[in-house]
Amino acid sequence: MKIVDMHCDSIMTVKFNREPGLRSNGVDACFDNLKAGGYLAQFFAIFSSARAKYEHVPKTTPLLYDRYKWIRNAFYNEMDANSDIIAQARSVSDVLENEKRGLMSAILTIEDGAPIEDDLDNLNGFYEDGVRVFGLIWNFENPLAYPNSEDPEIMAKPLKPFGVEAVKRLNELGIVIDVSHLNDGGFWDVCKYSEKPFLATHSNARGLTPHPRNLTDEQLRALGSKGGVSGLNFCPYFLHERGDKVTTADDIVAHAVYMANVAGVDSVGFGTDFDGTEAFFPFRNAAGIQQIVDALSKKFHESEVEKICYKNVLRVLKENEK
Ligand SMILES: [Zn+2]
């Protein structure tokens, strides 16, 4: 089964372009593991956030936009060095073209819109670079929005006016909006202002696992009715309340079934969060993803499994293209 995964942090593990790089550096979603897992496309997130650690980025890059560029260049270098197995895709037709050539596709995304700084035109730059999915926020307030939070007051705050402008510009440009990490008030503003289907690239169901990073039933339904997709996140804290760091296939399938029951199977996808979360996977890493597919196949028809594994996400990308 082909796989499209909407979120990993693997590009952040490439340190100063040292060998062996992302092809075989042993992280969960390195290219060799993606290949072994039968991936069609992997989203690679650039993470440049004001309050995050930057052990992978030189200290001489003070602006978040500059940090963004540094990580983007690392991504480009990885594409150049591994052009025999993977290539950047800027559209769904690129994905299909790459597939014909026997290549996996890499789609550039942003996790935390903070590198926009205070200039809406930076979005044009992101688009030129091939960014096709834009996460408005991570876990800290930025110029666009407020993050998910245990604090009900923060959770309810609307998008900032600059965030509303960004939503409109992202729609115009053909960059998909990503609401993972966003607070509830912001989510509902995206619903209101976005004219295109959007994504929660790596968020599960709050009704099953009550974590503010997950989406409520009402949100899942709203996302689905806009034609959007939420990506099954493999982080144990978003999947269960056992308190251990183990993620089983059954944990993932339970959320898939729940989300499909609430919002329809057309709104479910993968957003593994590989290399962005501390977890133990009995199925090891991206190379073992077909074990999740097998577990899904026990609960869903084949045509539904295809939707979850790749078709739903490609549909949202396509519907956002200019
Ligand atoms: Zn994240």
pLDDT value at residue 75: 95
SS3 of 75-87: the string is HHHHHHHCCCCEE
Q: How far is CA 180 from CA 142, 148, 282, in A?
A: 14, 9, 25
- Of 195, 179, 184, 245, the residue nearest 218 (C-alpha): 184
101 CA from centroid of ligand 1 (Å): 31
For range 182-191, the mean pLDDT: 98
| Alpha helix segments (H runs only) across 13-109 | 31-37, 64-81, 92-100
pLDDT at 61 over 60: no
262 CA from centroid of ligand 1 (Å): 23
237 CA from centroid of ligand 1 (Å): 12
pLDDT value at residue 64: 87
Q: How far apart are CA 29 and CA 284, in angstroms?
A: 11
pLDDT value at residue 67: 85
43 CA from centroid of ligand 1 (Å): 12
139 CA from centroid of ligand 1 (Å): 8
For range 81-107, the mean pLDDT: 98
111 CA from centroid of ligand 1 (Å): 7
State what percent of residues in the chain have pLDDT above 70: 95
User: What integer best gives the mean pLDDT of the chain?
Assistant: 94
pLDDT at 12 over 90: no
Number of independent structural domains in the chain: 1
pLDDT at 181 over 60: yes
For range 191-200, the mean pLDDT: 98
Phi, psi of 270 (to 5 degrees): -105, 135
Helix 184-193 and helix 161-173, axial crossing angle in degrees, nearest 10: 50
pLDDT at 159 over 90: yes
Looking at residue 41, its amino acid is A
User: DSSP 3-state assignment of 121?
Assistant: coil
| pLDDT band for position 20 (cuts 50, 70, 90) | confident
pLDDT at 15 over 80: no
pLDDT value at residue 268: 98
- Of 300, 203, 319, the residue nearest 260 (C-alpha): 300
pLDDT value at residue 66: 85
For range 199-215, the mean pLDDT: 98
pLDDT at 17 over 90: no
Query: What's the Rg (C-alpha) of the chain?
Result: 18
| pLDDT band for position 123 (cuts 50, 70, 90) | very high
pLDDT at 137 over 70: yes
Q: Give the residue numbers spanning the domain of 153.
A: 3-320
83 CA from centroid of ligand 1 (Å): 27
For range 240-263, the mean pLDDT: 97
13 CA from centroid of ligand 1 (Å): 15
For range 268-276, the mean pLDDT: 97
What CATH number should be reported for the domain holding residue 102?
3.20.20.140
pLDDT value at residue 59: 53
For range 267-273, the mean pLDDT: 98
pLDDT at 58 over 90: no
pLDDT at 294 over 80: yes
